[in-house]
Amino acid sequence: MANKNKQFRHMKTLKYKIPYYLLYSRLFVAILMVVLSFVSLSPIIVVSLVIYAVLSDVFDGIIARQLNISTVEMRRLDTKIDTVFWFSCLFYLCFKHSLFFKLHLFQVIILISSELFIIAFGRLKFKERISFHTIFSKFWALILLWFFLELTLTQTCVWSFKVAFWYGLFVQTEIFIIALILKENQTDVPFVWQAVRLKNGQILKRNKLFNG
């Protein structure tokens, strides 16, 4: 009986660690992406790693909210790891598809600059990393995945990059506007109008699937 109780406690403890395992596994994939930039490997394997990472990004938050262990610190850590992961993917693509990035260098610089600007603005205003997890930014991850898959598997992309670029600027603009509106840093602010509600002292309705 004692062994069964001990095993049950262990399984229960393990369950609450799953979101963190998913978070740090994505960081591990980011490191792998940098390493794979210098070696030859089947694109299918690389694509599989990136798909796993994006899925882990979807489910770590959902699982954490279902277990009621989603914290501000976890959400900020999630944003930091997301940034590292996508920059590692960019690093990989720059090495493996250098011609494409030479042709689209200006757009890439704009996207990188907008991301760095948001990070810097958050540090200046809130003294910490912005981590709003807007609904539109969640879809941007899927669009970036589409772009990564198309370029990696077909060696070219037209619409996926255009959509990723313009949609990315839209997402960054929304995040900046939310940062301007809020008096204090918040996590999980789905849309601009909800930032206005927070500024006015109203409480947001939370959804465990998106922003619980």
112: left (phi over 0), alpha (psi -120 to 50) or beta: alpha
For the cut 90, the answer to whether the pLDDT of residue 158 exceeds it is no
Q: List b or e across 76-97, with b for residues whose CB sees 16 or more CB atoms inside 10 angstroms.
A: bbbbebbbbbbebbbebbeebb
What is the four-CA torsion angle of 36, 39, 43, 45, rounded to 10 degrees?
Answer: -60
Cβ-in-10-Å burial (0-12, 13-18, 19+) of 17 comes to: exposed
For 74-119, how does the pLDDT look when each residue is reduced to its tens digit (9 = 90+)? Answer: 999 999 999 999 999 999 999 999 999 999 999 999 999 999 999 9
- Structural domains for the chain: 2-199 (1.20.120)
Name the CA radius of gyration of the chain, rounded.
19
pLDDT at position 172 is 97
Q: Give the separation between CA 25 and CA 54, rounded to whole angstroms.
A: 11
C-alpha separations of 18 from 30, 69, 212 in Å = 19, 11, 17
For the cut 80, the answer to whether the pLDDT of residue 54 exceeds it is yes
pTM as predicted: 0.89
pLDDT at position 206 is 64
Percent of the chain topping pLDDT 90 = 71
pLDDT at position 4 is 44
For the cut 80, the answer to whether the pLDDT of residue 5 exceeds it is no
Q: Give the separation between CA 56 and CA 112, rounded to whole angstroms.
A: 23
Q: Which of 92, 20, 113 is nearest to 50 (CA)?
A: 92
- DSSP, collapsed to helix, strand or coil, labels residue 7 as helix
Q: Which of 211, 194, 212 is nearest to 203 (CA)?
A: 194
C-alpha separations of 73 from 82, 163, 189 in Å = 14, 32, 15
pLDDT at position 10 is 44
